[in-house]
Structures are given as C-alpha cells and as structure tokens.
Amino acid sequence: MIIRLAEVREQFDPQRKGNFLAKISGFADSNISVKLTSQYIQGGNASLKFPPPAKGVQVIICQPDGCGDWYFMSSTGQKGPPNPKKGSEPSTQSNPEADNSRHRDAGGNKGPGTGMDTRIGWENDLGCGFLCTQDRSKKGQNVYTKMYTPQNKHIKLDDSRAIDAVILNNGSGDATIRLTAYPADPVKSPARMIKIDSVGPQKYICHESQTDIVVMDGKELNVLNHSTGKFAPSGVGKDHFGNVNLQSKYNDINIFTNQPYLDDRDVTDGRVFIECLNSDGYEQVIQIQTHGQGVEGENACVIRLLSSNKIEIKSTGDLDVECGGTVNMRANGDINFTAGGEINMQAGGNINADGEKVYLNSGQSSPAEPEVGDTESFYGPDGVTTYK
C-alpha cells in the first residue's frame, strides 16, 4: 500500500460522486482524483459522510496494492506551502460530465447547487438519517439541518434566506407545521408565524386544565369555515359540513365585548353582531330557544333582552308574537300604536279600558313613530373575506 501526503486542489464535484482533486507532495504537478471514504458505508443507503477538506489543506491519501485509485484517509488540518503551479481544469478529471446539477442527495433532496459538496450526513441502510448542508450560490442558498425517515417524514431547521423556518412534515406534504423567523418574502411566508396545515383533521384536546387562544396586541381572531361538503363520502348528507359549533356540556357559553372608553374617540364601540350575510339567501333563520320545562319564579326558562337605554325591533315583513300565558306591557311614558290598516282586538272576556278620560274617534291620538337604526359591523354586508 502506498501512503502519501497531498494538497487539496479542488472540491468541485457537482454530481456528488464523492471525489476531490489533490496534488501529491513531491510528485508531478498534475492533479489526481481522490475518493472520499468513511468508516460507515454499508454498500446500500447506509453512510456517514463529510465533505472534502478545503482547498490548500494537506491530507493523507493511500493507494492499496493492485488498485489504481487513490483513497482519502485523513486530514491534517494544516495548509501546505504556496504553490503557484495549477493543475488541469477540475471538471475534466473530477467529473467529465459535470453540468452544475445535483443527483439524489441524502434525504432525497434535489435542486441547483454550486458543485461543491458541503454536506455532513449520516444515513442508515433503510434511509433514516441526518443531513447538514450549507450550499450557497448567487442564485440562492440551502443552509439547514434535517432529520428524516425513508418515507421522507422530516424535521427541518432551515436558515436559508427564502425559507428561514422550522418545518415538521409528515412525508406526504399534506400535514405540516411551520415556524418562521424572518423569510425573504413576508407576503408569501409572514415573519414569526406558526402555521399548521393539514388535509386531515386537526384536534386540540386538553384533559385536565385549560385551553386559551389569545391575541394580546395584534390584529383579529378569526374562526372561519368554508367547507361546502365537496369531499363528503358518497351517500352522506351535507348537513354536518360547513358549520361552526360552540357547545358547552356542563356550563355556560359567554360572548362578551369590553371596549374601554378612549378619550381620542367620539364614541365607544362594544358591539355584538349576529347576521345572515347572503342578501339572496333562502329560508335564513336566527333562532334563540330554550328547551327546558317552563317553571314559574326564579328558576323559569327565560329568554331576556335587557338594555340600559333602548331596544329596537324591525321587520320588513310581519311581526308575530305568540304567548301561551299573559302578555304584559308597561311604559313609564306613552304607548303608541299606528296601523296602515285596521286595528283589531278580540277577547274571550271583557275589554277594559281605564283612564282619566277615554276618547273615541276624537282626533287627539298620537301616531307611533319608531326609530330603528341600521348599524353595520366593520366588515359590512360581506363579513370576513380574508380567505374568500
């Protein structure tokens, strides 16, 4: 076996053959191709590999008896003396078919590169492994650490300027979690974002504590459902697609707004809107209902509308009120009724009218003049259109 000291002349190896060019000390000026070696290469996918040493570093290489190839043994980590003589073009000896493109990398990666193998990786025979890469060129960069499986399930810590994120991927690409830092395109991938994206269901289950979703001082909290039932199994109705459900099994559901007074605003807002937005909608219903047994007193099943000032009710059609008991109305001021048609009153018993004086058809009555506003939410008649 021949063992020699050599100087690394070129790392150019675009097709990842595991070669580099070196000049043997004391021999001719021409470069020789040296094959990288590893203590863990099983002949299949299994490997433990490192990139070749940098240019100018002295390495120890060997040529086994009866073999014409040179193999890398170790690096001294030291630079050799300056040598003005240059060997032949690296691409002609290192890889005559070099085209600045990559073949399959460890971990299944493909893409443009510089032709310099900078990866550090370990992969077992089944294809499970780790990969560290620092490829950088004028067209982009791939700077990341990746842990992966044969089916390409992977965790990727990516410092590449365009990505700048931590990515958890299920291997099929249809279930990912992405945590960004400051990607180059904040519109395509916002900074400091957590994105959970899946084709299948997402479940958030807390067994013995509390679940909080809080926006401290950002923008809005949106809960949207755009499902049409398109992917419902054959023969399954679409009644359970597209709904947004809030349900408490043992206690209350609370919807609060608590806009504080602000000196620099003319009015304070703290509004709750419940709307059916589609102006062409058919059979739209807003229903508030109790199903408990009707009990008199404090424990009665009640629907209450309370206001510190005014309650307004308006309908462009009919207004129906039906009561199984007594209808009681009291006003500290006047009670006015106005009808464009007739006013009909029927009673199974007496009709009683008491007052200081009772006038009939005297012309002294006052018409009812209801004042009902038409306030819109900040989104107007279209609602939230962020993902429309």
Neighbours of 321 (CB within 10 A): 6
CB 343 within 8 A of CB 335: no
User: 276-309, pLDDT tens digit by residue?
Assistant: 988 888 889 999 998 887 666 666 788 899 998 9
0.75 cut: is pTM over it? Answer: no
pLDDT of 198 reads: 95
- Domains observed in the chain: 1-99 (2.40.50)
Q: Given strand 47-49, what is the order of strands in its sheet? A: 47-49, 120-123, 129-137, 140-148, 154-158, 165-169, 175-180, 194-198
User: 198-208, pLDDT tens digit by residue?
Assistant: 999 999 999 99
How do the pLDDT tens digits run along the chain, 388 residues long? 889 899 999 887 766 677 889 998 877 678 889 988 887 766 666 677 778 888 899 999 899 998 889 999 988 888 866 655 544 444 444 443 334 333 344 445 555 456 667 778 888 878 889 999 887 777 778 899 999 999 999 999 999 999 999 999 999 989 999 999 999 998 889 999 999 999 999 999 999 999 999 999 899 999 999 998 888 888 888 888 999 999 999 999 999 888 777 666 566 678 899 999 888 888 899 999 988 876 666 667 888 999 989 999 999 899 999 998 899 999 999 999 999 999 999 999 999 999 999 999 898 888 888 888 888 888 888 888 877 7
Q: How far apart, in Å, are the Cα atoms of 104 and each of 10, 21, 111, 247, 332?
A: 22, 22, 9, 51, 85
pLDDT of 236 reads: 82
CB 3 within 8 A of CB 73: yes
Distance, in Å, from the CA atom of 13 to the CA atom of 5, rounded to the nearest integer, reads 21
Q: How far is CA 77 from the centre of its chain?
A: 45
